[in-house]
Structure 1
């Protein structure tokens, strides 16, 4: 008798996305909620003034939990966003200046972009949780590129870079390292490293830092060339830390509730 096996849900990724969905923050530009702040709060650029964030993140959670595609996500969400007026090009007030600006709100390509970014960040957080749990047996991480003509040269340079899980290099160079970055990290055991030693690199390339100014906030940052502004942090580690913090808060709340019960 054949046994049907159902794929397991990506529980760690779901926890990471759920944790971000608990702190939704409206923004006008992606520069308003920057880098690791985005790992702690769910946000969508040009959402200021529209009640659509909870709808988008509920749709993302459903898609992740049920293994749905970007097309499924968009088809279910589009009518709701259109009904709320968050669709097409419109004049929208920029909260920072009070001026009206023509901006692109919802569209099919915009929803595909939102889906892609949030799924990559959520999976990165789920993977990092796994890296931390298993680093006693699998203490190494390998940087892996998709080697085609779309790969950034700086990312290609780091393909097969192998460093310990706790190495500070991963604080900056941990995928996704930019918009539409398809790189990943793979955990390896000592035995894996010995088997693959001839193809691995153990000396990280030096960072060539460039200066970038956030036009929304005035903040000046030094960012390694090859990492897009807004991605100069470790998305997976930040998301995994948020999940751990939320779990700790829940445990403290449960303990306090227990202590307050009449004896």
Structure 2
């Protein structure tokens, strides 16, 4: 849902047109964590450490993080990022399919490493997560005058059905729904929230929604942890 006249910061971030000091500082403070699988780290761990699954070279991981930091600080595009990152990854052999040692089984497996689509996922997920963190700080600072949030899904053929069903839900900032539904909700999710005042609700003919029913699922990580997460929310994003 797009409402003309209300700024949707997630949409701006998704188009890589927004720079924010809060987003830059949040991403800058992250450390590095090497991981083999995408599900080794869950959301709170992503808040303090940057990782790229199967990128086990610490120097190369640090290089990717520094280039993403430059993107957030300068507003560069995905093309700018890919033009710098792809050649470096290719020089180090981290590209295409390769035989690698799987640490959990101790077996050599064929793994997909770098690719254009993988770079776009890394780019989009990290930028949106950084902007989301910066936006949430702003939301909390302004909740006394703008105490409501509206979930905003991008209404097109790529929107997940579970996310589309949440589009237009309006709930107070402090509602428990936002504990599990701070967008992005999964990899390549383009959803966001719009912060609103009571006057905004009146102007646009909106009202506070009933809390949606949430279907919970359980996911087991490689190290045996069980993560309970809502359907439609990635287990590493909860």
Larger Rg: 1
- Whether 2:206 is the aligned partner of 1:202: answer no
1:158–1:204 CA contact under 8 A, matched in 2: no
The 5 A counterparts of 1:164-203 are 164-196=172-204, 198-203=205-210
Alpha-carbon distance in structure 2 between the residues aligned to 1:87 and 1:157: 37
Q: 1:161 to 1:45 in 2, by over 3 A?
A: same
Q: Distance in 2 between matches of 1:8 and 1:231?
A: 22
2:226 counterpart residue number: 220
200-209 or 65-74: bigger deviation: 200-209
Contact 2:228 2:235 in 1 (8 A): no
**Secondary structure of the equivalent of 2:168?**
coil
1:201 is displaced (CA, Å) by: 4.5
- Residue 141 of structure 1: SS of its match in structure 2? strand
Q: How many residues align?
A: 222
Which consecutive unaligned segments of at least 5 residues does structure 2 have? 1-16
Change in 2 beyond 3 A, CA 1:207/1:9? closer
Aligned to 2:6: none
User: 1:42 aligns to what?
Assistant: 50
TM-score, with length taken from structure 2: 0.87
**Alignment map for 1:113-124 (pairs within 5 Å):** 113-124=121-132
- Give deviations 1:33-68, integer Å, cap 9, x for gaps: 122211211000001245311100111011111111
For 2:118, which of 104, 110, 132 is the aligned residue? Answer: 110
Alignment partners' CA distance in 2, 1:109 and 1:161 = 31
**What is the CA-CA distance between 1:200 and the residue it aligns to?**
4.2
Unaligned stretches of 5+ in structure 1? 1-6, 233-263
Compared with structure 1, are the counterparts of its residues 136 and 74 closer, same or farther at alpha carbon in structure 2 (3 Å cutoff)?
same
CA distance in 1, matches of 2:208, 2:168: 6
Find the partner of 1:229 among 224, 232, 235.
Answer: 235
Report the RMSD for the aligned CA atoms in angstroms.
1.8
Runs of 4+ in 1 over 3 A off after TM superposition: 198-201
Aligned partner (choices 130, 137, 144) of residue 136 of structure 1: 144
> What is the CA–CA distance in structure 2 between the aligned matches of 1:112 and 1:172, rounded to whole Å?
25
Aligned: 1:29 with 2:37: yes
* Cα separation, 2, equivalents of 1:159 and 1:77: 35
- Summarize deviations over 1:133-170 as a string: whole Å, max 9, x none: 21122111111111122222221221111112121110
User: Which residue is equivalent to 1:260?
Assistant: none
1:91-145 deviation per Cα after TM superposition (whole angstroms, max 9, x unaligned): 1122233322211222222111110110111111111011112112211111111
SS at match of 1:170: helix
Partner of 1:81: 89
